[in-house]
Every structure is written in C-alpha cells, then in structure tokens.
Structure 1
C-alpha cells in the first residue's frame, strides 16, 4: 500500500516558518498534484516527503510508517527531478540501472527491469546512447525510467516538465498520465503550472504562503473555488472579478457608482461582496451588462475578447468565431448558476499568478 499521510507538517529556516501546519492524506495509487505560485512551499513539502529536507514539526507517514529522520534511500520512494540529474558518462541503460547496481541487485534482474521500463517508455532504440545524444523529452523519459525500475511505493515528481518547450510539455503530460494509469503507483507531482495539475491529477492541492488553500478534484476546484486565491489561480484565461455593494439582493453597485442587475442573489446575503465570472460563462446577446470591446483575439476554435465594463477590464471567451469588432458595445449575460460570490477582499493580482503558472 503506497499511502502517504502528512500530519501538521511544519518547516522553518531559523525564525522564518515556510510551512504552517500542512495536513494531507494521499491514498494508495492516487495521483496528487501540489500546485501554487513560486515560494508557496510545494517543493519544500515534496523534498520533506523524500527526506531531502528535515521536518521542523509534525509527521510524515509512508505505508503507515513514520519516516521522520529515515534516510531517503530507506523510504521506498523514487524521485524525478526538473533537471533530469543523469550521469553524462553513462549510457541510457546504465543510467536507468544505476540505483539497482548500488543495491547489488543481480545483473539478470537489472537487465529485465531496465528492458521493461524502456519498453514502457519507448526508449528501446536509445539504450546505448549517452544523455548528450538525446532530446529533452528523451532525457526526461530516462529519468522516469530510472524511477520505474526501482518499483517504489511512491513516485515524486519535482516540476519535471519545466525545461521542455510548450509542445513537448503537452506530449509528456499525456505520457505521464498514461504511465500512471498503467503502473497505478501513488504519485505526488509538484508544478507551478495549473494546467499540468488539472490535466494530470486525481486531486489537486492548491498552496499559497505555506498553507493549503483547497484540496479537491480538478473540476471541484474549477467549479467551486473556496477562496479568491483559488478562483484566480485555477482557470485560463483567469476568472473575472467585480467588487461592490449589494444595495438589495440583486442590485450590485460598483465603486464608480455603476449598478448592475445580478441574475441571482448572494446565498449568504452579504452587503459587500466580490463576484466572479469565468470568461467562458459570459454570453453575448441583446440584453445584459453593456461592455465596450477593446481587443478581439481569434484563435480558430475560439475567440478571446477583452472589454471594459464600468471601467473594469474583463475577458470573455467565445467558442467559435464572432464578427464583434474593437470599439463596439456588446451586452454580456451570465448563467446565474455559474456566478461566484466571495467575501469582499483584495483580489489577487492575476497577472502575477499567470507569470508563474
């Protein structure tokens, strides 16, 4: 059973606390992604699970065994790093079998495990090549193969696709997901890319400032964000936000005095709220909120529109194509079931989140 239990785990560097009591239970065979902006503590937490960082407080259990203080080699985990960490003087076969040779596994078993991993990863034609003779994607497959041959209870991935170009990242995402479906090994995957987290994981852990903001399936986070931070971080293009007062249940007054009629009342009956609307949940029609189009960006299968609504920049995503032009006034309606209400608070700076995502 490759279960991992993280119980009130804390990490401090001197007087600076970077993890503030993190608790997660990861089931056997589950794929969990830790996601968040740079500095949120996700990589630190992964390194603590691996035994590469000391634990300042709390407990980490792997297969119901407390591993605080246990050496990384004795935790029955395998880690795939961002920079591949391959030995340049060894060929692919020797790189993949190195850890097994260190454990004095028989040559016959090493050969069997390496050949099996190479077959799974499509590396059979490259077993005699050195890392310098491989592409970035092939090197990452070798790093994954080195982890597979160890048959660990838990795989740990530390931003493994960050060094690849956009097209190769998409391909490798698919390969990692297929690999997990085949091996069904418990996997913990760290990334700052929310698209990676959403497409790969069974559950996503959104971290911010050393704490967990929300844990849930990708669609739970997308459809029901628990905080403004999660709402702003999950989704591309990001969610639109409008801050204002509810002068009655459905009359929403923005800071400049503009009033908007909401299609539904705030379920918590607050007087000050921030409302959120995802770009794809707007429809353009004959009625709704008037907005002036600034930019139209056709991408083929969809069109992104940037507009101004009461002085606020908003983004609208239209499936297909539109004849709308910059300077035009359009009317935006939203399905009341898809409107999000949050406590009034400063909205996270989405541009900064996009930069690290």
Structure 2
C-alpha cells in the first residue's frame, strides 16, 4: 500500500491542453473515485498515474518514489479495465497468474496467490474454465483477481462496470467495495456514474474540462456543493435550479414564483442575480404551500418522481410517501429551508 501524490499534472495533445494543472493527495489505503462527464479528463489522468500516458508537466509520486517518468511495469500498480482484457486461450487460473509467470515467480507461489485471490473473489470452482465459459460478472472478477495476485501498492479501475447490466453493476459495486475494506489497498477508480462514486468512495474528485471542481467525502459534496456544476452532477435526480433574486426576505424567480430562503441568511453586499437550488427529495407534499400542476409522474414502488409546473417554473419532486397523483392534478408542496442552496449566477459559485 502507498500514498499517491499528484502535483500540477498537465497533459497536452499538440496545442490542446486537456488536463490543466491537477493537484490531488490520496492517502494510504484510501478509495478515491475520479468522476465527471465524458471528455473531462478522468481516464487520461488515470492512464498517466498508470504510466500508459506520458505527463506533459508535473509530478506523480507513489509512496516515496517519483514515478512520473517510469514505465508502467515499474510503478507497482495493477489496473482493471472496462473490457476485461482476458486471454481467451488461457484458463481462469492461467489468466490470473500470467503476470507472475512473466516475472518468473516460483510455480508454488503462483498457485498459492491464485488460490488465495480465487477464494476472496469466489472463483475457486471456475479456475479450470476459459473466458468464453464465463458470464460478464465472472470475467470481471477474473480481471480483478489478476490484479489482486500481483499484490500492488495501488489498484487502478477504469470504468470496470460499464459493460455489465444494471443488476450486476449493483452486485459488483458492492463486491469491489467489500474487497477494498478487506485488503485496504490504495484504490483509484474512474467512472462517469455518480451513483457509483457516491456509494463506493472515501473521497470523490469531481472533474470537468480537465480541472478539478471539488474534492471531498461523498456527503460533503452532496450537502455542500462548491458550484453549480457539482450541484447538478452529484445527486439523482438532479437538483432543481431556478434563476432569480432576493427581494424583501424571499427569493423571487424570474417568472415571479416566490420561494422560501434559508434561515439566518446573511448576504453582504446585497446579492445580484442568483440561482436557487433545491434537491427533489427535499420537497414535500403539503396541505398548503407552493401550488403546482403535475406534468409527469414516475413511480418505482418505493418512490414517486413528479414534475410540477409552478407558475411557469418546472420543479422536480421525489416523494417517498405513497401519493395518488396523475397528469394534470393540482398539488401543493413545501421546500425544507435547511436544504436550500444559493449560487452566484455569474460565477456559478456557492454563496
């Protein structure tokens, strides 16, 4: 196990700069998730940590060593890819032990490490099978086992669950987190799925256009997003955003809808144009309050998602109580003042 320290790392492809001076400190044994939309630079950053992509500037340290210019084989890392990358002509056991065989490790040591990893991942009965005889989830376990037998200082995961169906993704997500809790190896995990990030990470790094928007624990990002991008990206369904201003102790949207403000709010100097943010789950159905007309209803059994037209403003709501509502129904809702977010419209920063 080891710390990973990234200092002012940049990446340029010709004249195009895709990573803009990133700084991240990852503690020994920490599970860190790099998350962001496609094209934000998260996989490029992971590949630079792995040594599969050269850095244009900056320094990457694994433990006490500066590995910025070391080849991948000398960095003591193990990587799990999205596409499994298993050798089809090799058995599960041979796939898992192949890296050790290349290093000319003793046969008994290889067998011991493979058997230990197979026991951790539930692969004991599959060691003689070939990749074509395995399900997608089993193949991903083999890819994880191949990384595990190397006993690296750092595990790197590059969107490893993207090729799995929804149910299997949930299962594998739990298995990867459980594995980390048992072996405590420093782990860096890339995904575009913010649910994976929220459920798995000790710390999340939110990337956008090659820069870090915010770093923090999952609930820190959820409760106190630094800006509009993080607020909209973290959380599902997405946060409601309404443009307007503070007038006479209330927030008045550009379309005239009056909304409550957080208690003890102090803005100095007086705020200009703002964006009002509230998550759908922090809106409740009440006997009186903000009046709206139901435009969409989606029920999942445990929750009801609805979109309301409130004086020309569309507001998304997530109700956990059982409501009998349908398209065109009238509904009144209230917003929890403790969970209101305000952002400066010009800069996008939280205030």
- C-alpha distance in 2 between matches for 1:267 and 1:78: 50
- C-alpha distance in 1 between matches for 2:37 and 2:262: 33
For 1:286, what is the secondary structure of its paired residue? Answer: strand
1:291 maps to 292
Report whether the alignment pairs 1:138 with 2:124: no
2:250 maps to 251
8 Å contact 1:275–1:341 — kept in the other structure? Answer: yes
1:202-351 equivalence runs, <5 A: 202-248=202-248, 250-262=249-261, 264=263, 266-268=265-267, 269-345=270-346
- C-alpha distance in 1 between matches for 2:236 and 2:29: 28
> Could you tell me how far 1:245 is from its partner in structure 2?
1.5
Q: Which runs of 4+ in 1 moved over 4 A?
A: none
1:350 maps to none
8 Å contact 1:274–1:345 — kept in the other structure? Answer: no
- C-alpha distance in 1 between matches for 2:154 and 2:220: 25
2:154 maps to 154
Count of residue pairs brought into register by the alignment: 346
TM-score (norm 2): 0.96
TM-score (norm 1): 0.94
> Could you tell me how far 1:207 is from its partner in structure 2?
0.4
- C-alpha distance in 2 between matches for 1:219 and 1:101: 43
1:156-171 equivalence runs, <5 A: 156-171=156-171
For 1:288, what is the secondary structure of its paired residue? Answer: strand
> Could you tell me how far 1:120 is from its partner in structure 2?
0.5
Summarize deviations over 1:69-113 as a string: whole Å, max 9, x none: 101011000000000010011010000000000001000000000
- C-alpha distance in 2 between matches for 1:153 and 1:60: 14
| 308-317 vs 99-108, greater mean Cα deviation | 308-317
8 Å contact 1:9–1:20 — kept in the other structure? Answer: yes
8 Å contact 2:261–2:340 — kept in the other structure? Answer: no
- C-alpha distance in 2 between matches for 1:262 and 1:159: 39
- C-alpha distance in 2 between matches for 1:76 and 1:287: 61
Summarize deviations over 1:298-322 as a string: whole Å, max 9, x none: 2111111111122222211111310
2:104 maps to 104
- C-alpha distance in 2 between matches for 1:97 and 1:148: 10
> Could you tell me how far 1:284 is from its partner in structure 2?
1.2
- C-alpha distance in 1 between matches for 2:177 and 2:212: 24
For 1:271, what is the secondary structure of its paired residue? Answer: coil
- C-alpha distance in 1 between matches for 2:51 and 2:290: 54
- C-alpha distance in 1 between matches for 2:112 and 2:30: 27
- C-alpha distance in 2 between matches for 1:267 and 1:105: 66
8 Å contact 2:79–2:156 — kept in the other structure? Answer: yes
For 2:8, what is the secondary structure of its paired residue? Answer: strand
8 Å contact 1:247–1:271 — kept in the other structure? Answer: no
